[in-house]
Amino acid sequence: MIAFPPPRMVRANGVALALHEAGAENRASGAAPVVLLHGFPEIAYSWRRQAPALAAAGRWVLAPDQRGYGGSDAPEPVEAYAIEALTADMIGLLDSVGAERAVWVGHDWGGLVAWELARRFPERTAGVVGLNTPYLPRPPEDPVAMLRERFGATHYIVWFQHRALPELIFQADLRRSFRFFLRRTDAHTGAGDTRRSTAVLANALDFLHPRREHQLLSPEELEVYVEAYRRSGFRGPVNWYRNLSGNWARSRDLPDHVGRPALMITAELDPFLPPQLSEGMEQFVPDLERASLPDCGHWTQQENPEEVNSILLDWLDRRFPLGAGAETA
């Protein structure tokens, strides 16, 4: 089982966050810390193959359990998971460790937080990496309403708007839930049919009987997730989705622009965030580089860790070289 740094608790934006830190001895390099932001339904442990590798290459790495996840605080109110709170948590995290700016690396929901940090707090952003998650301009309509109109009430994000039901189902059998969620995607079950891949009812059989051949986690890794969610539950993580409409409504006056160095990594077989979603990003993110992982599904850093590490380190070394004392590229 891969060793992952144990957490320490830090205060940020009024909540306690469980922070896993690697390469603290590398702070003297002068480069900005690399902050790894996980998605749903993950925890900082999803970066277990990146944090040690980046630290060994001379990087200072911070991987928090975000608000509502793992060892971090999980406030009850739905509104506590608005994007303003999620981004403020990360700024508070930088303050707590004495860092001025960061390279934000985000996967899934963590990618959305990373892009929002770069947009809302450019002065605290050295660079940003979207892993699967592209920068998306503000849609013309409420995104939940758009998903309901296009995919119907069984789309998972629409279904997540139901209060209490999703978390009750997921928490009933945590091992089954994570065998279902964290599984490999192949060419036969991949991004070809987005409607089916994202529909709750269409995936009910896979949820009840996850296929053994698609399992991504070892039994020991599975238990890490099970224990984390036994503590935190799913209410906080699902509440992130319940703020999508409110986040959209309050973003009307924000600029659709990210002016920092950026990297977009897409995965060929991701049914939730397919590569085509990233088309046209250069209009909003002018300093953008791209990389693509073939034959890879949604859980990119866990499915293809060596490739992700290589891409990240190549970009970091070129744009934020160690020893240069520069946090901007």
Q: Which residues carry out catalysis? A: 108, 298
**Taking a C-beta distance cutoff of 8 angstroms, is the pair 36, 51 a contact?**
yes
**Taking a C-beta distance cutoff of 8 angstroms, is the pair 262, 130 a contact?**
yes
> Alpha-carbon distance 91 to 75, whole Å?
18
CA distances (Å), 287 to each of 115, 176, 264, in order?
A: 13, 42, 11
> Alpha-carbon distance 299 to 305, whole Å?
10
Determine phi and psi for 212, rounding to 5 degrees: -60, -35
> 91: closest CA among 69, 71, 119?
119
Q: Is 290 helix (H, G, I), strand (E, B) or coil?
A: strand
**Taking a C-beta distance cutoff of 8 angstroms, is the pair 143, 151 a contact?**
no
**Taking a C-beta distance cutoff of 8 angstroms, is the pair 113, 66 a contact?**
yes
**Taking a C-beta distance cutoff of 8 angstroms, is the pair 111, 98 a contact?**
no
> Alpha-carbon distance 157 to 272, whole Å?
11
Q: Is 163 helix (H, G, I), strand (E, B) or coil?
A: coil
Q: How many CA atoms lie within 13 A of 63 on its CB side?
A: 28
**Taking a C-beta distance cutoff of 8 angstroms, is the pair 94, 255 a contact?**
no
> Alpha-carbon distance 327 to 299, whole Å?
29
